[in-house]
Amino acid sequence: MPCKAIAVANQKGGTGKTATTLSLGVALARRGRRVLLVDTDPQGDLTKSLGWADPDSIATTVATHIAAVIEGADEDPRAGILGHREGVDLMPANIELASLEMAVFMAMSRERILKTWAEPLRADYDYILFDCAPTLGIIPVNALVAADGVIIPVSAEYLPASGMAGLLKTVGRVRRQINPGLSVEGILVTLYDSRNNLARDVERAIREQYGAALRVFDTVVPRAVSAAESAAAGESVFSYDASGRAARAFADLAEEVDRRG
C-alpha cells in the first residue's frame, strides 16, 4: 500500500494528541503495518512516552534533520530513527526544536522543510504519524504540509467550537495555498467518560456541528488510568493493559483508519 502521512493536531493542549499518536501507531503496527512516529513537539512527550526518558540527551532528532534541510546538508533522512520493541519506529524530538523556530521562519520554502525530510521515508513505511505541538506555529504547519490527512483529537471535557474553528481555518489555508491533497482524516473524541453529562453533551455537539461536513470517528477513546500509566512506563496501552478499554478503542480506531487507507 502507498504510504499515508497523518498529522495528529489540535492547538489546545490536553486533548490526547500524544496518546493518540502512540497508541494508533502501535495498533497499526499490530495490524502488520510499517509505522514511523515523528515527534514534532519540543517538549518531547512522545519520545518520553516511548521510553526515552531524557530526550535532551539524544544526539540526532527531528531538529537535526530540519537544520540539515535549511542548511542544504546531505543528511541521511533515516539517521537517528529509533526502533521500539512494540514494532514502531520513532524520530525523536527535544528542546533543540524550539531553538530552530526562527531559523525555520527565515528559511526558503519554510513550510516545506519537514516534507523535504520526510518524503524519502515514504518508501519505507505504510504510515507516518506526526505528533504536533499544541500550537498553530510554523512547525505544526510544516507537519500539515508534509501530511496527507489530519486527525483532530478533541477532549470530551469542553465544548470545542472555538478551538476547532482556528485549526480548521489553518487546515483550509494549508490546503488552498500549499498542500491541496490535505484532508481532515477525522475528528476523534477522547478522554470520554460515559458517566459524565458534559462528556455526552460534547460528543453530541461534535457530531451535530461537524458530522455533516467532516468525518467524526465512530471510535470514542475513553478516559482510562492505563493510558497515563502506560506512558509513564514507556510503553503503549497494548503492552501495559491489552484487555483494557483504551486498548480496545485504539484497536478500533486503527481499523477505521486502515480501512479508509
Cα separations (Å) of 157 from 60, 81, 153, 230, 247? 37, 35, 12, 22, 21
Which residue in this structure is represented by grid cell 483529537?
153
Report mean pLDDT in 10-residue bins for the chain, 261 residues: 94 88 97 98 96 96 97 94 97 96 91 98 98 92 98 82 78 95 95 85 90 95 82 86 92 94 67
Predicted local confidence at residue 254, as pLDDT: 97
**Cα 10 from Cα 134, distance rounded (Å):** 6
Predicted local confidence at residue 160, as pLDDT: 58
Pair 66, 107: CB distance under 8 Å: no
Predicted local confidence at residue 225, as pLDDT: 78
**Cα 78 from Cα 191, distance rounded (Å):** 34
Predicted local confidence at residue 261, as pLDDT: 67
Predicted local confidence at residue 197, as pLDDT: 85
For the chain, helix (H) and strand (E) counts, in that order, are 12, 8
The SS3 of residue 204 is helix
Q: Please, what CATH class does the domain formed by 4-256 belong to? A: alpha beta
